Chains A and B, each alone.
Chain A
Amino acid sequence: MRANFIFSEVWIGLRRNLTMTIAVVVTVAVGMALLGVGLMINSQVSKLTGYWSNKVEVSVYLCVKNSAFAACKNKNGVTQEQRANLEQTIKSLPDVEQVTFESQTDAYKKWQQQEVNQTLLAVTKVEDMPESFRVKLKDPDKAAAVANSLKGQPGVSNVVNERDLLQSVFGFMDTLRNVALGIAILMVIAATLLIGNTVRLSAYNRRRETGIMRLVGASNIYIQLPFVLEGLIAGLIGGVLAGVILIIVKVYIFESIQTYMAAPLGWDTVAGVISGTMAIGVLICVVASFITLRRYLRV
């Protein structure tokens, strides 16, 4: 088998169908970039979930005097007895790992650090802050169940499952990922059809050559290889472009978001995603070429 013969055939084929080749390259690049972005969001979400799940707590807020919460109405706040009972109840729950008590003073200090509204800071007193139990769980997935069982206990004003707060962020990212992956799938379909068309055109353009090759007994591989290589090269160029796009996305979008996120997406993940999408892009091109060849190039 002579390599330079095959490569000159490939070059001729790519040049003859230049516009189609460009279309394939662009489609593969965009499709694979979107697929990569989807995968990157996916691993970002799982990284964040992993990071936060250990830290997420269930906060059980206790009634203060004149609280607006329905559970505390017309009472003078939580009693000593209620507080002690509650601590017992929480500690007896099987999923609870650790309980810490946050006093009004502690809560006030924390709040003071976070709050920027000066008027609010001025009028709020220590007694306005709620006491709370911060409950750490053995299994973060049980948070909802624990929160529900503590809701409505005497002296409890409100139970906040911090997971619910994160969930809305994760939900948004999940949607983003699904959109990216959805478009990626459409692009992959478009790329497959485009490659099919390109190979078909190519086979038609070279039907004389392939006819003679068949006649003089060139092996099937020899006849088909130039077409498959055309697909492979287009896929490879598209894959490289997709890689470049993904690096840009990582630098300009993920890096800037990461200031708000505790778990940054590492370059190792990005490298994995790029090589993965590139492999998929090339594979799709080669498989699509092969399938079309079987239809349009009788051997």
Chain B
Amino acid sequence: MIHFDNVTKVYPNQSRPALDHVSVDVDKGEFVFLVGPSGSGKSTFLRLVLKEERPNSGSIHVAGKDLSKLSNFKVPHLRRRIGCVFQDFRLLPNKNVYENVAFALEVIGKPRRFIRKVVPEVIELVGLEGKAHRMPEELSGGEQQRVAMARAFVNRPMILLADEPTGNIDPATSIGIMKVLDRINRTGTTVLMATHDAAIVDSMRKRVVELEDGKIVRDQSRGVYGQAY
């Protein structure tokens, strides 16, 4: 599903590469934690999957497509197959829960009837039934992140990227978020989650890929966050 082959990424005006000859394979339906300290290359990894950045060398395949051969014109179609969740939720403050989720479908031109059918379903899936008409500011952080997950998942993507989704949320609420991610993963969606949260990684017992200074220092199935912590 995601295939990195000897990928190196150096940002302009920086001598040290953000990713240094990284090779990794993520299969369909896997749940993978991407761990490592700040600046280790986790975000760069996710940005490369989305083709927001281009690698300096190496090849990247996502959902069967060679990203170097994917024209800019077709990048939006790639992104429709990838859902994204961020630490800062990125909801539209002037739209309610339903509208925030529906927005993701409206802007890719889905018919209204389809939107009316699937949006309530996914709102229920993330555990926000009955809150469809709340505004984001009326929701807790955990609930806002659930809205963001609903929006990321509403188009049934093949891959869900989560960049520190529990970064702004207390540990108790984080468990709920992880349950939703797990539920999404069980539908067959590949989940790739970058995180600092050792407790969550340790409790989930999923595959762990650890980055340090842009290099993969560990790739372990059913792993924990790391001995050093």
Contact = CB atoms under 8 A, between A and B. Distances in A.
B54 interface: no
B109 A217 contact: no
A166 B155 CA distance: 74
Contact of B79 (A1, A5, A208, A216): A216
B106 A217 contact: no
Interface string A197-222: 00000000000110111111111101
B76 A217 contact: yes
A2 interface: yes
B170 to A, nearest CB: 25
B65 interface: no
A219 B76 contact: yes
Contacts of A216: 79-80, 84, 103-104, 107-108, 151-152, 155
Interface in B16-65: 50
Given A208-B90, A208-B92, A213 B107 contact: yes
A51 to B, nearest CB: 55
Nearest to B77: A217
A217 B108 contact: yes
Chain B contact-residue range equals 20 to 34
B229 interface: no
Chain A at the B interface: SS class: helix
Nearest to A220: B76
Contacts of B155: 216-217
A299 to B, nearest CB: 8
Contacts of A222: 107-109
Contact of B90 (A211, A219, A220): A211
Nearest to A210: B107
B50 to A, nearest CB: 8
Nearest to A218: B107
B161 to A, nearest CB: 10
14 contacts: A208-B90, A209-B103, A212-B151, A213-B107, A215-B79, A215-B90, A216-B79, A216-B103, A216-B107, A216-B108, A216-B155, A217-B76, A217-B79, A222-B109
Interface of A: 1-2, 5, 208-209, 211-220, 222-223, 299
Given A217-B108, A218-B76, 8 more contacts: A208-B92, A215-B79, A215-B84, A216-B107, A216-B155, A217-B79, A218-B108, A299-B72
